Every structure is written in structure tokens, then in C-alpha cells.
Structure 1
């Protein structure tokens, strides 16, 4: 269509024809950018010039490229074709602000062939953490500015005019003029440096072909630590001066991870160096710019004395994720943002593969279930979206950097790998990368490579998972001589959708030695005894006796190790058998997790009573697995809140039950770390003590406050190591009131005194848990002050206490104009909406929220608002369901006062 339009163009045509288009016209494409920049870090401005070598594919009077918030310098624009000597200047230059495009109209036709487009421009280093922006740091007590780029998804256009689409790959030659005392980095190594007084001119090696969103520049004052891979790739971690020791762990992970990926993808890391930089102000967790990966400080730096075990694990997995992109995303790039999941889903999945290789003791694949659950939670909403989602405009892209693209994407990859087998899967990925290296690919290209190696109908199977939203719940019933499987779309509203999937079903029968798998292609399938001949003789007996044997001493488990992206609902007989298996410790921790999580989801969807869920949870009292107990804690928070709304008279006994549920593992772990204890025990201790503090466990609160008091006197006291600081901070905030704010003031003092980003984030995440609404308001006002970096404000929205919820909503309304202006141009704005709106639980509140946003809706928050309002409606339905659960009071009271 674009080509036909180009052929008809004439000098009389208007720039209006290009407005409102989702994609740039293709009558000209870039091949090479020669870029030069001169930033002024004091004035927070920059000047630049670009010469873009382009191929004109069709004769045209127009060149259309992306540009936003840049001033094109008068007389700086010209085009020179390789086919004639004269320089052409546009007769009209129009910036279409709404579409972020720059239209250049020429009176003479630009002929087919190669030419050079030159543009001079000026811009501002903004505080919005996108495009070319400033970050503020402190050196020798003085605040200084650094200049940083963040271009994904579509913000290179805020730094230089360009074809800012992932398929428009080109090479980049960058030159920087910067103060001579500063460090300046880009994707490639410096090949020439010239110092002229207070300034220096740096020329960087020309990059290989890549997309604009992967171009990067960082300018500031840094220290670094350095290492190299087995094949000589130089790796550095840059950070603020004085923090280089905190970069050593990430450096070690990066060096080893590059070697892991080289072997796994059968392709060496393709650039001559890899730099990783900790940026004080950074909106996302990290960004995979080719050869120059940028991170939040909390995602890259690790302090042995003040970082928790959870911080260490996050650094390892984030580094592994970003380095996976160097192959999956950078070397082979999605053709358009519809295929974002190819980048993010794969990088998420592969990061676990790398972390497991480096740290097998972390049992990271068990923790992967948190990714699966995150994907299942979001995808159970009617307002979810397919993995492959149509993107019609650049302002829609930010919202799909969500749990569907990352978590569901990674989970369906894991499901497919499990179905095809690890070796087949690895060979297929290597083929895909070799075939599309330095190019762009679509989802179908990956399926083709997998089909070629496996011989399986991968495209047919996977289309049902990527092209439609949602997933199935598989209901399993047992009869005298068969098992019946029925799939239907699971929705957390309790309604049933009309989706249907090709579901890889795996089953085990009383033992992991007796297994069977098949593909559920239809809505209903029955398997009789003959179908189990390849599992074992035990399965015949199990089916005949409803999944039980010898008085309930055996069981049937579907979705072995939770590798499938679906939920399972068992009939009463099968449920009883699984409960026995849990108590008899016959199930793996992944399967124990799966049974609990599926039951919780069914309960929230009003497909199972809350009393039956609580009864099932009681079977987990002696659970010690980090991942399972962590999930049980998340469920406990939600249950306590919903019961408080539905039947407040049961709240205290519900909390007592939940405290009893966690006591076994809490007593096993204690407060103090044990010599030689595992990484997982260190993480679990913090989570359990946090939960006990939030639930109001008196002895936990007392001990936490005692240790915090010692910490105020000595920041290095062994009484409060990093892994238990969060429970101490939560406990302190439970004691704070509007008339006694000493604990809050003390926490703020710790916040202001520390320069460790992880510690600041930890404190921010605890402040709003205070049960006094007046204090919650103080906290919310505090996070909008300059004392909190713009990137970190969202942490202060996490965990707002139930009593502070209405206060937070009023605060959001009163401050919406400021919030929208400050964060509205990036994805962080969605966190304000989801954090404050989603916990409500009445239809009346949903209507009030909808009315407020009706005149304030923007494309960047549209999907998030709809999802948040849907959650409010789902909470309201669940509360009504709880009210009608006639067995709930009896079950809660019996378990709350049970003696163990």
C-alpha cells in the first residue's frame, strides 16, 4: 500500500496523507547513521547532527521519519543522492506532534537509489527517564548531572530523527563531544579520542546492524570493575564513584552467563565488549542496549553487608535476562511490537536457565512458578490480551510490557520445551538464531524452526496460546473405568469464556514413576483403562478406585511439575487423594505449589468455597519450601483482606489461623541466620517474619521493634541483618499512629542517611503498611517530594494498608494532574492506577473510579484501568460468595484454635 502511494506522489500533495498511520511508509529505508552529539550537562540541553544513508525504494517527493521533542535547526536539512551532485533542500518541514513524525517535502523527486539525508537538531535532557535524559548523582557532596539514553520502545526519536521501528535496522557511527573529566560510553568501543582543553572528542567504532531502540549513550563520572570471558570479551560494570565493590557480583554473573549463552545458542557474543552501567534514575529494571546494558542501581549492585539474599538473586536474574537479549532481541529482533513477547518471554525463560546453571542450589526452576502464576493471574481477566497483540500506535506499546509478554510468554515457552524435549528445543533455537541473525523475525519464524527440528505441528499447537487471550481450566473427573478431561476458558470473574486450546496434558498415578502424557485437542476427552497401558499397572487400579487406593493412600496429579500454562480442577475424590499426598509428603514442591495455587484461583473465581481453600491450606502447616510458603503468604494477605470485608467478625480468628499456619516454619528458621544455611532459607525467613508482623503476631512485633532499636544505634548490628530488615520495618510501621510517629520518623532518617538504592526501596515498600490512615497520607505526600527519586515513587504505593485504601484514592484524585504530568509519558503511570484501584471491592467504588477517569483517560493507561476495574468487580463477587459460605465460620474457628 505504501509503495502504491509513493508512486502516485506529486509535489502538489500534502503532508496530511501521512497523519495517523501506525507505521512509517516504506518508500525509503535507512542503512547507516552517522551521529554526533554535544550535550551541555549544566544547561541540560544537547545539540546534534545526523547523516543518514538511505535507500530510496520508490521515487518520492517525501521522506517520512520519526522525531519528537526535537528542534530541527533552520537550513540544516538536505538530501544528496549518489546519482547527482546537487544538494536538495526540502520546501516544507512539518513535525506532526501527535504521531511523532517528521515529514520532509521536496519539490524535486528523489530518485530510486542511495542518498544521504542530513539533519541538525537540538533537544533537552529531560527528567522523564526516556529518550536522552539527565540523571542526578552526588560526588564529593555536590549534585551533578549525567546524560543517559533509554530508547525502548519508541524514544530514540527524542534523541535524533530516525526510522524508529525495530525492522528498520541500520549501522550506527557515533561521535561525542563531552567534558574531558567524564566517562562517555556507547554500544561500541572508542576508536579515537582527542582532547581539546576542557572538552574531548570521542569517536566510537561503527556498530553492526541493529534497531534504533538498542542505541545507547551514557555520560558521567564512574568507577568500574572489569573481567573477561573465556574467549576474551571484555566485560565491565560501571557505577558511581566509590561503589565499584558493589559491582563485583554482577560482573562475575555476566562473565559466566555470556559463556553459558555462547554454548546454549551455539553462537558467540557478537560484539567486542560488554558494558553494564548502574544509573541512579532509571524507569525500568534494566535495558538490553547492544553492548551497553543500563540498569537501576538496585538491579545491578550488590552490597555484601546491606543487601538481602533476595537482592542477590534479583541481580543475577536481571543480568541473565538482559544478556539473553544480546541474542534474543538484539541479534535476532522482532519485526514489530506485536511480537514483543519473542524478546521478553524468551529472555525471561532463558534467564532461569542461566541462573540455574550458575546457582543450582537456588532451585530457580521451582521459583519460576512465580512467573507462571503472575501470567495466569493477569490472563484470567476478560481485559487481558493475546501474547501477540495488535499495536496500532506507538503510544500503545508501553502497556504491553506486562505479565502477558514476560510471564505468560516465558511460561508457554517452558510448556513447549517440556513437550518437545530439552535437546530438540535447544537445537531449534540455535537454528532460529543462525537463520535470522542480524535480521528480524516473527513468531511464525520461530515455530517453523521448531517444527523443522521436532517434526511436531508446533505452529498449530502454539497458535492457540499466542493468538488468543486466556487459558483453560481442565476439569478432571474419575468414574468406574475412566478419567474424563474437560477444558473451558478460565476467568477470574467466574464466567466461562469460549476459548479452546491444544493442551499438553501430563498425569502421574500415585508415583512419579507412573506417568502419561497426551495432547487435549478437543473440549472433552475420556481415557479408559486401555489408554493407561503405557503408564503402569497401578493406574488401572487408581482409575477404578477414583484415584485412591488402600483407604486414600494414592493419588492422581495432572500437570506434572506445573509445566503447563493451565489450571486444574479435580473432583472431590481426586482432591481427597491429593490432600493425603500433600500430608504424606509424596508430592514435589512444584506440584504442592500447583495444587495450592489452582485452588486459590478457583476460590477467587467463586468456583470453590473459601472454607475448602482454608481447609486445604491447613495441610501445608509443615511446609518448608521457600516457593510454596511464599505463595501461601501471598494468599494469606488476600484472604485476610477479603474476610475483613465480607465477615469482619471472623478477621481475628482468620489471622490466628494464618499465624498458626506459619508458626512451624517460623520456629524452624528463627530470627538469626544459621551458619551454612541455604540462600532459600535466608529469603524465606524474611518473608515469614514479614507476614507474621503484618498479621499482628505480638511476639514477632515485639522482637522486631527490639532489633530495630538496636539497629538505630548501630547500622552494622548483627541483630538486624539485611534479610530481616523488611519485617522489622513493617513491624515498626504497625506501631505508628498519627499521635506517635517516632517509628516513622526513625525509618525516614534511615532512608535519608543510606546511599544504597536497595535499602531505600526496602523502606519505601514498608511505609504505607501503617494501619493509621493519617500516617498513610503522610507517606503518600512524602513520596511526591524531591527526597524520593521519580523512579522509586511506585514502591511507596505497594502494600497500602486496608485502612489507608480510601485515603490513597482521595490522594490520587487530588494529585492526578501532577502525577499525570510527571509520570504520564511512561509506563510507571500504570502503577499508580493498578496499585490504588485494584484492591477495592465494591461495585459502587468501581463506578466512582470509572466516573473520575472518564474525562482523564489516555491510551497509556486505558488497558490498565479496565483491568483494575475488572479486579474490583471480581473482589466484590468474591466477598458476596464468602458471605454465603455457611461452613466458613466453623472451619476457621476449628483451625484457629486447633492444638498441634
Structure 2
């Protein structure tokens, strides 16, 4: 008790005290891959900057040899033996007390340690693989956000940058990797000692180590940086696509990759460096880890990935897998500048890392693969941010973090996709040339240092002359976003903004909104800042034309401006560059519907109108009948991203209709089947010679949707092709892009009395060693309508046959299985919490199981169950999931009160 009282000043604090600053780490580690333990030492060069007898740093799940702890002055003139060493596991800190005050200036803190190669996919952990039929362990690291402390005592905060000298003692037959190149290896019998070059200054969360049996493929950038992709032995060929993307992306980031239509500006960018600073390390290794919780991790010089995010198999990977590899590689390499070179000051500013890396990855991918139309696809990414930020339980982009256990939950759509979307919005407002110059200045100014959000705004403001700080504070310091309502009154446009919430209520937020608007044509386009709650603009002065005077039925179906220069339709948020929703009055909505049918609008604007309408319907600000009528305008849609969103919305509407109006469900599904017939007939089942990447992805999504909605012809053909696949895994009848559709169709027809399809799919799962194929199968298994089979699937997720990282893919259960999944989660919560509770994957279990419910009673039941089980790492996710249940319940009630809905559904379902 006396000891705890002595150190209470350090307990419970979110940040480490500042009286000692690390400068250099000399780390020696010896992992034992048989016992799954490791030993090591760390010598930390520390600058004592204030009078203290204590050194306080982070440590967790380590055994520290008390007798090894000592502090040497820089010149070695004095050695301070430790008086006490105390490790506080709850706060993850180690306190070393010395008998007298340490001298101001540099010294070296020495510590010997022992630890466990855990199975939690965090810290220094083990991953398993097979080599020549034998199961083996590899040792790898995952330190972000705050898990370097599980490998060696350190100042585990992003602002505490230092250099790192790594030495590894490993079995001589294994490959040892770290951030920097190997400078020497010494072999001694069965062991070898590998010495790595000292790193540049960086944060602890970017330190990386990997030890195991690996193959690799290699190439070089134009200026000689060696790039390698490492993977399990025998899979090297699957790394060639990622290698090619990486080499081209590094060259691109060194020079320029901005997608600008203006040739003169493009040529200007070609002559400059977008980041102003080249890649600063002599090599770049990328490695596929069989067990990996996140998608990838941007460790300086040694980027780690899930296998699904790095490896691509020409025969068995789908087009969507190829695209995912390209985007993830571009994202992680962008981090070498945004995050590694310039690092956020604290986790509050995580979005500076993730938002920018997301935005930059789309820029790079668009440059490398322009035919993918990746910026249109980015809208689907933005939608995830819009939906999460439409919750009262959302959080600002800049979110306060009080404890390391809270950090995992903010690696979400706010930090990534909302962050990227507001960057895109700001770039659109300032102009790409100005934005590029400012970013280059920002990178150069804060290289090898740390930055806060306001530091970026200051550079952008100085470069542009615009009030960037004032403008952007409204987007990063408050949660949520606005819905901008627009109507026409007396030849004036009336705009109003209010905070949009999916609950249907209005928050009190207010934003400076960059409004873009076009009227009847993309040539008639105007911009302005909406800085107040409402604003009225004279149409003649603002647009140079008059507004339609009659109703839509009187003035025609829209299209181009008529002879009297009257605008036929109005579209706000042109190309969806703004992070806000738009609500049109009834007449404007009708005009836009006709503009969609007349093919007057771009794919991005068709996407935005549909997505806003769905969100407004979900928030009970627009009827479901109105949404279904609008969806009918997309019958001849062919764009991949628009159709992908249409499919997603259709699936969500069908699920809510099953609870709200089950008597209309069959006809609603009939509507959706009709929506996709045109595009399916255009694409057919079989790939065409030379068809586009987007068509390949779209075919699978459309057929999966038709199978989900019970289209007999699709289901029967999918099952026929699946049986051909069982006979021959290389059959052209079931290429990788179609397998998800086939697997879903098979499971839709599985029941307790006929499990053959389920058993066949499990056999395919067990036979394949391709991670992408395994996750594809897992995501289909729980789509079965039989609750007994669903329970069997969920229990399978907890078995040793499914890697811990992959279990979350099997949680997408059918509507019929929601109650089964909830009971399963409760029955297995202790095991789930123990297995996944120390990382962010636990949130997926909660959100996937809880969020689909749609009754207030169920929300109360969830609250009661978790009342005694909540902890900081799941608190935000739990609140968000329960809020979604309330939103669904309110939506159900609203749908049930729609008197015109049955009539509209019948009309649309049987339209010729």
C-alpha cells in the first residue's frame, strides 16, 4: 500500500510525464518460436530535462529483471542503480525510482526483459503457417496504436520520436526482417545474430520485426530503392502484382500523381515533387502475414499486410481482390509520408494519418488504373463515413483520447473516410494547384517531426489566402454534418442547413458549407459558401437564367434548358465533392428523377441523389414509397458504383421491410429483381473477351443480389455452375468473380434436411490455401435461412479451422438468423471477449450482431446484457449499435404508417 501511494502521481494519467525524453533505442531480441517466448534487452538514450528521481515509461505484459535496470550518465562517469521498479499493468506503465535525482542531460537507461509471443495479433506475437505439411510459427509485430510496450519498455506515444537500432538472434535457417536493411549477420551453429542499420527518427508504433520462412519477389524504383514482397514459401508469384503497384506508386509519390484534366497544370506537377521530400529509406519491404488483425500496417520500411491485402492469384482472385490490393498498397505507401515522416502529435489527430493516406491512395490508384473510375467508387467509401457520422453517438474527426484502450475504436469511418472526404472537399474549394503547393510545404516543414491539425490549416491558409482554419474547424472539431434543404420560391433559391441525424431529429451543429450547384446543365454551375442557417439567392442574378414556373408535369420531363432559358432541374453538391446531404422539395425531386431517366446526370450525381434519398427515408424525413419511386428511375443503370449502391440500398430496404411490412416483402423483392434485369442481361453470366475491370466486378454483385432476392433462374444457374466447380476447380463456368454469387445461392437453398451444399462449401474452404477464397466462403455461409445451420456456421467461426482474424467475415447472417446470432453472442461472450477483446475486432462482433435489430424491446435487451460487461474498448461501438437499433425501430413504425406504400409497391412490382 505504501508503494502504491508513493507512485500514485503516475497512475491513471493518459500521458507520460515529460521530465525524460527518449532519443535512441538499442534493442536486442531473441524470440523462441518453439516455446513462443522471447527475451531481450533495451538500452535507451534518454535526455533528462527536469529534476527527477523517477523514470516513467510504458510497459505491458513484460517481466522486467529488476537487477538489470540502471541509468548510466552519458560519459559513463556514474552508474545509478535502481531503488525500486514497479510495473502497473492497468495503466501499462513501468516506474523506475532511483535513490537520488538524475543529472540533467543525456544518459542511458538499461533494462533486461522477458515476454510472450502472444496469439492476440498485437505487440510481439506469433502467426502460424504450414511448410511441407508441418505447422510452424513465425514471430511478427503489430505496434499501432500502443503495443510496442508489449515488446520492450518505451515511451509509447507518437510524439516521442527516436532512432532505433535493432538486433535479432534467430534460428539460422529463418529470415529476419526489420525496418532497415541488414548490415551484418553472424552465424553461430543453429543460431544467427542479425544486425540492422539504425533507423531514422520515428515513433515507437512504426517499429517492426518479422522472423520466419519467407519467399520474396524483388524490383527497384527508378532511383534505386529496393522493393520486395515477402510471403509464405510457395506463394511468391502471388506477390508480383503488389510489387508492380508498389514500385510505380513510390515513383508516383516521388513525382506527381494528381488527376487533373488541365494539361498545363499536369505538366507543372510533373516537374515538381508532390510531397517535396523523396522516400527517405534505402529499402521497402512488404510482407504478407497469415494472422493479421487489420488490413495492413505502414511500419517504416517494413509494411505488414493481411494476405488478402497483398497477394493476388491470377486464377483464383477476383477483380475486386485486385483492386483492394492496389488501394491498400497505395494507402500504406502514402503513410511513409503522412504518418511516418510527418506524424500526428497525439491520437486526437489520427485523421491526419488515415484521412490523408486514404485520399492519397485514391489519387495514386486513379493514376495507375484510370479505367477503374476509382473516384466514382470513392463515393461508396464516403457513404460509410456519412452513415456513421449520422449517429448521435458519432465523434468529431478530432476526438479526445484519454487512455490507450480507447484508441482502437477511432480507427473507423470517421478517421478514414470522413477525413478523406473533407480533404477532397477542401481541395475542390481551394483548387488542386494551391492545395498541392501547400501540402508540399507542410510535409517539408514538419518532416521528421509531429504536427497537429491546426498546423496543416495554418500552412494551407498561408498558401491560399483563404480562412481555412475557420472553414475547416466546423468540419473537424464538431461531430456530424449538415443536410442542406433547397426549394424554389418566387424565382429565388432558398437554402437551409441543419445537422442531419439518422434518428430523424435535428442537432444544433452549424457548418461553413462549400455549396456547388448546377442548373439544367453542367455548363451552368455556381459555387458559394453557406455560412448561416439559411440563405436566399436571386436566381436571375446568381445563375443567369430563370427558374421553371410551372410544375414538372407542365414543363416537361427535364433535360436541357428550354427555349426560354428556364432551368429544367437543379443539382446541389455537384459530383458529390461536399460532405453533406441534400434534401430537395417534391418538385425538384421529381425533376431530378426525370433527369436520371433522361441520362442527363453524371454517375457521381446519380449516386448522390440515390444515397441522400435513402438516408432521408431511413431518418423518416422521406417516405419509403418516395424512395422506391426514385429507385425505379435507375432501371437502365450501368455504372458499377451507382449499381453497387443500388444493390446495397435494396438489401437494406428488404431487411427493414421484412420487419415492417412482411406482407409486402415478396413484391418489394420483385421490384428489386426488376431493377437489375436490364444490367444483368447486358452483362450475362460469362465474361467477355476484353471486358472492363468494372464489368467483371459488377457481374458478380448483380448475380449475388438476384440470388439474395430469390430469383429462381439465377439461383438455379448459380447452383449448376457450383456443381461444375466441385468437379473441376479450374472450370470456366465459375471464375472467381462469380463465386460469391454461387456460394450465396447454394447457402440460400440449404436446410437441416438438405445440408449437402453447406458440406460441399466447407470442403472447398478446407481444401484451399488462398486467404481470399476462404474469406469469400465465410462471408456466404451465414446467408442460409435455416437458424440451425446458422448456429452451426457461427460455432464453426470459433473453431481452430478459422483464423481469429477471419471470424468476423462469417457474421453477416441472413434476416432469419438475427435472433440465433444474438443468442450465440450471449452464450459465447466470455470466450469472444477473451479472444478478441484486446483489439478492434471485438467491435465487429457487437455491431454485426446487434445493429440489424429493429425493435425498442431488443435495444433494451442488449443494454441489459452489456450493463455489466462494458469496457472502454467497446463502449463507443456498443452505444452506436444500440442507436442503430432505435433508428431501425423508428423507421419500421414510419413505414407501417405509410398509407400509400401498398399501392406504390404494387404499381412498381408489376410495371411492364
The TM-score bracket by the shorter chain reads: over 0.9
Question: Aligned partners of 2:682 and 2:696: how far apart in 1?
Answer: 12
Residue 269 (structure 2) aligns with: none
Question: Aligned partners of 1:266 and 1:715: how far apart in 2?
Answer: 49
- Establish whether residue 676 from structure 1 lines up as the match of residue 668 from structure 2: no
Written as runs of structure 1 = structure 2, the 5 A alignment for 1:184-195 is 184-195=176-187
Against the structure 1 CA distance between its residues 548 and 474, is the aligned structure 2 distance closer, same or farther, given a 3 Å change threshold? farther
Give the deviation of 1:86 after TM superposition.
2.3
Question: Aligned partners of 1:647 and 1:576: how far apart in 2?
Answer: 26
Please tell me the root mean square deviation across aligned C-alpha atoms, in Å.
1.3
Written as runs of structure 1 = structure 2, the 5 A alignment for 1:240-255 is 240-255=232-247
**Deviation by residue 1:111-134 (Cα, 9 ceiling, x = unmatched):** 110000000000000000000000
**Deviation by residue 1:842-863 (Cα, 9 ceiling, x = unmatched):** 0000001100000000101000
Give the deviation of 1:516 after TM superposition.
0.3
Residue 57 (structure 1) aligns with: 49
Written as runs of structure 1 = structure 2, the 5 A alignment for 1:323-334 is 323-334=333-344
Give the deviation of 1:580 after TM superposition.
1.2
Question: Aligned partners of 1:681 and 1:530: how far apart in 2?
Answer: 43
TM-score, scaled relative to structure 2: 0.96
- Establish whether residue 646 from structure 1 lines up as the match of residue 663 from structure 2: no
SS of the residue 1:489 aligns to: strand
Question: Aligned partners of 1:306 and 1:859: how far apart in 2?
Answer: 41
Give the deviation of 1:81 after TM superposition.
1.4
Give the conservation status (yes or no) of the 8 Å contact 2:491–2:547: no
Give the deviation of 1:84 after TM superposition.
6.1
Question: Aligned partners of 2:40 and 2:541: how far apart in 1?
Answer: 70
Residue 399 (structure 1) aligns with: 409
- Establish whether residue 809 from structure 1 lines up as the match of residue 822 from structure 2: yes
Residue 546 (structure 2) aligns with: 541
Give the conservation status (yes or no) of the 8 Å contact 2:218–2:226: yes
| 2:492 paired residue among 473, 482, 496 | 482
Question: Aligned partners of 1:558 and 1:319: how far apart in 2?
Answer: 34
Give the deviation of 1:544 after TM superposition.
5.3
- Establish whether residue 837 from structure 1 lines up as the match of residue 842 from structure 2: no
Residue 850 (structure 1) aligns with: 863
- Establish whether residue 819 from structure 1 lines up as the match of residue 829 from structure 2: no
- Establish whether residue 721 from structure 1 lines up as the match of residue 738 from structure 2: no
TM-score, scaled relative to structure 1: 0.97
SS of the residue 1:390 aligns to: coil
Question: Aligned partners of 2:749 and 2:449: how far apart in 1?
Answer: 58
Give the conservation status (yes or no) of the 8 Å contact 2:19–2:51: yes
Residue 797 (structure 1) aligns with: 811
Give the deviation of 1:530 after TM superposition.
4.8
Residue 601 (structure 1) aligns with: 615
| 2:892 paired residue among 879, 887, 900 | 879
- Establish whether residue 491 from structure 1 lines up as the match of residue 491 from structure 2: no
Residue 459 (structure 2) aligns with: 449
SS of the residue 1:122 aligns to: strand
Give the conservation status (yes or no) of the 8 Å contact 1:345–1:406: yes
Give the deviation of 1:552 after TM superposition.
3.9
| 2:40 paired residue among 38, 48, 72 | 48
Give the deviation of 1:265 after TM superposition.
1.3
**Deviation by residue 1:259-303 (Cα, 9 ceiling, x = unmatched):** 111122122100000000000000000000000000000000000
Give the conservation status (yes or no) of the 8 Å contact 2:540–2:546: no
Give the deviation of 1:647 after TM superposition.
1.0
Give the conservation status (yes or no) of the 8 Å contact 1:508–1:514: yes
Residue 514 (structure 1) aligns with: 524
Give the conservation status (yes or no) of the 8 Å contact 2:539–2:547: no
Give the conservation status (yes or no) of the 8 Å contact 1:548–1:574: no
SS of the residue 1:75 aligns to: helix
Give the conservation status (yes or no) of the 8 Å contact 1:80–1:86: yes
Residue 896 (structure 1) aligns with: 909
Give the conservation status (yes or no) of the 8 Å contact 1:94–1:104: yes
Against the structure 1 CA distance between its residues 270 and 549, is the aligned structure 2 distance closer, same or farther, given a 3 Å change threshold? farther
Give the deviation of 1:82 after TM superposition.
2.3
Written as runs of structure 1 = structure 2, the 5 A alignment for 1:765-780 is 765-780=779-794
Residue 563 (structure 2) aligns with: none
Against the structure 1 CA distance between its residues 330 and 833, is the aligned structure 2 distance closer, same or farther, given a 3 Å change threshold? same
Written as runs of structure 1 = structure 2, the 5 A alignment for 1:373-392 is 373-392=383-402
- Establish whether residue 560 from structure 1 lines up as the match of residue 574 from structure 2: yes
- Establish whether residue 699 from structure 1 lines up as the match of residue 709 from structure 2: no
Give the conservation status (yes or no) of the 8 Å contact 2:186–2:193: yes
SS of the residue 2:450 aligns to: strand
| 2:873 paired residue among 860, 877, 883 | 860
SS of the residue 1:867 aligns to: helix
SS of the residue 1:274 aligns to: strand
Give the conservation status (yes or no) of the 8 Å contact 2:229–2:242: yes
Question: Aligned partners of 2:687 and 2:736: how far apart in 1?
Answer: 11
Give the conservation status (yes or no) of the 8 Å contact 1:379–1:471: yes
**Deviation by residue 1:291-320 (Cα, 9 ceiling, x = unmatched):** 000000000000000000000000000000
Question: Aligned partners of 1:662 and 1:112: how far apart in 2?
Answer: 72
| 1:90 paired residue among 73, 82, 95 | 82
- Establish whether residue 282 from structure 1 lines up as the match of residue 287 from structure 2: no
| 1:551 paired residue among 556, 562, 576 | 556
SS of the residue 2:354 aligns to: helix
Question: Aligned partners of 1:847 and 1:572: how far apart in 2?
Answer: 37
Residue 440 (structure 1) aligns with: 450
Written as runs of structure 1 = structure 2, the 5 A alignment for 1:745-764 is 745-764=759-778
Question: Aligned partners of 2:125 and 2:906: how far apart in 1?
Answer: 57
- Establish whether residue 613 from structure 1 lines up as the match of residue 627 from structure 2: yes
**Deviation by residue 1:432-453 (Cα, 9 ceiling, x = unmatched):** 0000000000000110111111
Question: Aligned partners of 1:863 and 1:194: how far apart in 2?
Answer: 50
Residue 146 (structure 2) aligns with: 154
**Deviation by residue 1:533-575 (Cα, 9 ceiling, x = unmatched):** xx4x3xx222656799942422110000000000000011211
- Establish whether residue 296 from structure 1 lines up as the match of residue 301 from structure 2: no
| 1:311 paired residue among 306, 321, 324 | 321
Residue 5 (structure 1) aligns with: none
SS of the residue 1:114 aligns to: strand
Residue 350 (structure 2) aligns with: 340
Question: Aligned partners of 2:547 and 2:681: how far apart in 1?
Answer: 38
Residue 783 (structure 1) aligns with: 797
Alignment size in residue pairs: 884
Give the conservation status (yes or no) of the 8 Å contact 1:83–1:113: no
Question: Aligned partners of 1:528 and 1:818: how far apart in 2?
Answer: 63
Residue 366 (structure 2) aligns with: 356
Give the deviation of 1:59 after TM superposition.
1.3
Residue 111 (structure 2) aligns with: 119
Question: Aligned partners of 2:119 and 2:753: how far apart in 1?
Answer: 37
- Establish whether residue 504 from structure 1 lines up as the match of residue 517 from structure 2: no
Give the conservation status (yes or no) of the 8 Å contact 1:226–1:236: yes
Question: Aligned partners of 1:753 and 1:577: how far apart in 2?
Answer: 54
Give the conservation status (yes or no) of the 8 Å contact 1:548–1:555: no
Residue 261 (structure 2) aligns with: none
